[in-house]
């Protein structure tokens, strides 16, 4: 369960430079310390003006009818989750491999469809691997800081495709960023979410 108001910025689970050369230290520092911190600060400020929402968890705030609360709660939750999708490099486990083959035909097809979701997102947003209510895996994309939990789906893996996540290194080459990103996915953490 997530904490409640006032929210704080979680520390990265690894050093800023840990994901190099895929994601450079400067991007990680700006992304975490500036962008993610801004969502935390803006959420707390919005909750100051909405004291009736202050006892709700971060997950509960994702469905708030107050847009500024919902949007910033999404920014906090999505980034907290995103950082935990990366880090420990390694091979994909057998359980996850078999599951992706079952639901997508092959690991390569899963990756191609996931990259297509990342590239097909017009503007800013996210690509997600989620478990639906029936227990099957599916790929989806959300705009801005929207989150699959609002649709009753469980996030398994997420890729941030806001420009601030990749622009310093990749400029306008989102496709290259999405393809290179596989090299820093923590497959052990992904499989544990199944």
> Does the structure show a pLDDT above 90 at 188?
yes
Using DSSP's 3-state secondary structure scheme, residue 124 falls into coil
Query: Residues 27-73: pLDDT tens digits?
Result: 999 999 999 999 999 999 999 999 999 999 999 999 999 999 999 99
Decide if pLDDT at 189 tops 50.
yes
CA distance 86 to 81: 9
For helices 37-48 and 67-83, the axis angle rounded to 10 degrees is: 150
CA distance 102 to 88: 25
3.40.50.300, 3.40.47.10, 3.55.40.20, 3.40.50.10160: CATH of 94-192: 3.55.40.20
**How does pLDDT run across 88-137, given as a tens digit for each residue?**
777 899 999 999 999 999 999 999 999 999 999 999 999 999 999 999 99
CATH topology of domain 24-83: Helix Hairpins (1.10.287)
Domain definitions of the chain by residue range:
24-83, 94-192
């Amino acid at each position: 369960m997530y904490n409640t108001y006032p929210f704080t910025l979680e520390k990265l689970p690894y050093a800023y430079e840990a994901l190099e050369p895929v994601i450079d230290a400067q991007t990680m520092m700006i992304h975490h310390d500036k962008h993610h911190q801004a969502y935390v600060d803006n959420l707390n400020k919005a909750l100051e003006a909405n004291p009736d929402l202050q006892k709700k968890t971060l997950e509960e705030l994702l469905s708030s009818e107050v847009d500024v609360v919902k949007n910033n709660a999404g920014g906090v939750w999505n980034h907290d989750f995103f950082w935990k999708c990366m880090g420990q490099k390694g091979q994909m486990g057998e359980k996850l491999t078999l599951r992706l083959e079952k639901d997508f035909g092959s690991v390569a097809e899963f990756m191609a469809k996931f990259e297509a979701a990342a590239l097909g997102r017009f503007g800013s947003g996210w690509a997600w691997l989620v478990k639906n209510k029936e227990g099957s895996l599916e790929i989806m994309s959300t705009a801005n800081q929207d989150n699959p939990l609002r649709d009753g789906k469980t996030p398994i893996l997420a890729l941030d495709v806001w420009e601030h996540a990749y622009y310093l290194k990749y400029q306008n080459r989102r496709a290259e960023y999405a393809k290179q990103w596989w090299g820093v996915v923590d497959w052990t953490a992904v499989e544990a979410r199944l």
